[in-house]
Amino acid sequence: MSAYQSVFRAGQFADKVMVVTGGGSGIGRCTAHELAALGATVVLVGRKEEKLLKTVAEIREDGGAADHRVLDIRVEDDVRACVKSILEEHGAIAGLVNNAGGQFPSPVAAINQKGFETVVRTNLVGGFLVAREIYNQHMSKHGGAIVNMLADMWKGMPGMGHSGAARAGMMNFTMTAAVEWAPSGVRVNAVAPGWIASSGMDTYDGAVKSMIPMLKNAVPLKRMGTESEVSSAICFLLSEGAAFMTGATLKIDGAASIAPHMWPMPNHERAPAYDGFHRAVKPKVLEEG
């Protein structure tokens, strides 16, 4: 098995403990692998232990250091206890990748209160709880870096209004926390991926599933992004290279979010992808594409 081909220097995060929520699959799994390849001890957090254990085993097989915690980030007392447990075992938390999230496709008129609140709790409240606890229990005295996960919601999010509302809220939380926590030496930034070829695409069916292979046509770079392209942005924001960046959101979407509908977007193959993840798996929905 080859190693992760990161664009960052070896040992970039040596002797640092990084927490990655939603680390058992998709972008979280990829980011955990890259952080570990760069020397970090990575603590994967998520609800499904089977996925976490599999990723931990992969990282250790590749020579990295990894641990895991089973957690529903929406439960305040459990989040508090989880952060305490991590600090008791590892002594510090240098960075947080607030990646955990989830949603389901639905027009706004068909979303009931429970469905709306569940998605907002997962994509906004849970991330807030994890960030707050890590700040209060450790970073407020020792500094650190936090990267929150958004999405392409700049033109609204038709078909996923609950997720769009939560992601927009997370962007505002990112900016607010960046200002409030700056005196503690804590930087808070966010990434906003567009259409990324990740395992999450295989969770959809019906009309949404049939649409996925065509999404690249709405991207000026004429392709989807890779998990590695999101992970590298996250690693940059966690690194000292981003020491003067806080409260910012990096769009990773091939300019899809800013492309005017009337502007021609000819087909081309002039934007090759970067894929440093040696264990990346192509989504099944794209296998024939």
d(CA 103, CA 158): 13
Q: What is the pTM of this model?
A: 0.95
Q: For residue 151, what are the CA distances in angstroms to 50, 74, 113, 225? A: 26, 19, 22, 13
Nearest 5°: phi and psi at 181? Answer: -100, 0
Asked if residue 129 is part of any domain, the answer here is: yes
Nearest 5°: phi and psi at 278? Answer: -70, -15
Looking at the predicted structure, is the pLDDT value of residue 106 above 50?
yes
Give the residue ranges of DSSP H helices in the chain. Answer: 26-37, 49-61, 76-90, 113-120, 126-134, 140-142, 161-181, 206-211, 227-238
Give the CATH number, domain containing residue 144: 3.40.50.720
Asked if residue 263 is part of any domain, the answer here is: no
Residue listed under structure tokens 């936090």: 146
Looking at the predicted structure, is the pLDDT value of residue 1 above 80?
no
**Residue 243 tokens, joined:** 């020491």
Domain residue limits at 153: 17-253+280-284
d(CA 121, CA 127): 8
In this structure, the number of other CB atoms found within 10 A of the CB of residue 20 comes to 32
Amino acid 282 reads: K
Contact between residue 153 and residue 160 where contact means Cβ atoms under 8 Å apart: no
Asked if residue 262 is part of any domain, the answer here is: no
**Residue 198 tokens, joined:** 């990740």
User: Residue 289 — very low, low, confident or very high, per pLDDT cuts 50/70/90?
Assistant: very low
Count of domains for the chain: 1
Bridge partners, residue 19, by sequence: 43, 96
d(CA 282, CA 125): 30
Residue listed under structure tokens 């930087």: 187
User: Residue 288 — very low, low, confident or very high, per pLDDT cuts 50/70/90?
Assistant: low
Average pLDDT of the residues of the chain: 94
Residue pLDDT, tens place only, 228-249: 999 999 999 999 999 999 999 9
Asked if residue 2 is part of any domain, the answer here is: no
Asked if residue 68 is part of any domain, the answer here is: yes
d(CA 240, CA 185): 12
Contact between residue 103 and residue 162 where contact means Cβ atoms under 8 Å apart: yes
**Dihedral sign from CA coordinates of 36, 39, 41, 45:** negative
Asked if residue 6 is part of any domain, the answer here is: no
Asked if residue 261 is part of any domain, the answer here is: no
